[in-house]
Structure 1
Amino acid sequence: MKIVLASDHAGVALKKEVSELLVSMGHEVNDLGPFSSDAVDLSDYVYPAALEVAKKKADRGIFIDGVGYGSALIANRVLGVDAVVCQDPFCAKLARQHTDSNVLCLGGKIIGSAIALDIVNVWMTTDFLAQEKYIRRVNKVKEISKKHLRSLDEI
């Protein structure tokens, strides 16, 4: 799978560990930065990465900031991105099984690297439960997005 990574300065160290894990799992990783702990604006990195997912240039994205919510707020503004914040492996499993999420957001200041890597592993290896009730629910959310967000070809 092609995975795009992005962060802000608070997520750089954890992003490097996540990248190494993904490569060891056989995934192709595209890290859009940043690459140092110098202060940056999160949207400068997460927005282009979210576009990569929406344009299907990446199968999934993993974005890391201080708590994860900033990344999710930015990413979910892009039609075709379904970003979730997970702080434990159980949430990561349900986020894939029930919502078919394509972007995982992590908080580099909230969770340690051991738990973060476990979350990534679970999220990456869990499939969507393509049962009627979950398909129906996911489709309802997609319809809401289509109603309120512009498609990329309109931008």
Structure 2
Amino acid sequence: MKIAMANDHAGTRMKNEIKAYLESQGHEVVDFGTYDEESCDLSDFVLPASLAVAKGEVDRGIFIDGVGYGSALIANKINGCYAAVCQDPFCAKLAREHTDSNILCIGAKIIGGMIAMEIVKTWLTTDALTAEKYVNRVNKVKAINDQYCVKVK
């Protein structure tokens, strides 16, 4: 799987740990930065990574900032991005099963590295549910997205 990664200064260390794991599992990682712990603006990195997800240049995205919500707020402004903030593996499982999320957002100031790794593993290996009620719910969200969000060129 080809995965976009983005982070701010608070997420650099955790991103590097997750990136190393992903690569060891055979995934291709496209790292949009940042690459150090100097204070920076999250949107400078999450926006291009989100656009890569929306354009289909990557399969999914994993974004890491202080609490995860900043990344999700940015990503969810982009047509075709469905970002979920997950703070435990159970939430990661539901974010994939029930919403078919294509971007995982993690808060490096909220959770530790071991739980973050379990969240990533769960999110990457869980498929969306295919029962009609779940497919219908996901399709409703996609219809809202298509109606109110500008298509990415």
Answering whether residue 121 of structure 2 is matched by residue 121 of structure 1, we say yes
Which position in structure 1 is the counterpart of 2:90? 90
Which position in structure 1 is the counterpart of 2:64? 64
CA RMSD after TM alignment = 0.6
SS in 1 for 2:106: strand
Q: TM-score, normalised by structure 1?
A: 0.97
Amino acid across the alignment from 2:35: F
CA distance in 1, matches of 2:49, 2:122: 21
Q: TM-score, normalised by structure 2?
A: 0.99
Which position in structure 2 is the counterpart of 1:41? 41
Which position in structure 1 is the counterpart of 2:145? 145
SS in 1 for 2:39: coil
SS in 1 for 2:21: helix
| CA deviation vs aligned residue, 1:79-125 (integer Å, no higher than 9, x gap) | 00000000000000011111110000000100000000000000001
Which position in structure 1 is the counterpart of 2:52? 52
> Which deviates further from its counterpart, 18-27 or 7-16?
18-27
SS in 2 for 1:152: coil
Answering whether residue 31 of structure 2 is matched by residue 31 of structure 1, we say yes
| CA deviation vs aligned residue, 1:29-69 (integer Å, no higher than 9, x gap) | 11110110000000000000000000000000000000000
SS in 1 for 2:98: helix
Question: What are structure 2's unaligned runs of at least 5 residues?
Answer: none
SS in 2 for 1:99: coil
Amino acid across the alignment from 2:134: Y
Task: Percent identity, please.
Answer: 60
Question: What are structure 1's unaligned runs of at least 5 residues?
Answer: none
Shift >6 Å, 4+ stretches: none
Q: CA deviation at 1:131?
A: 1.3
Answering whether residue 69 of structure 2 is matched by residue 79 of structure 1, we say no
Tell me how many residue pairs correspond in the alignment.
153
SS in 1 for 2:36: coil
CA distance in 2, matches of 1:20, 1:81: 24
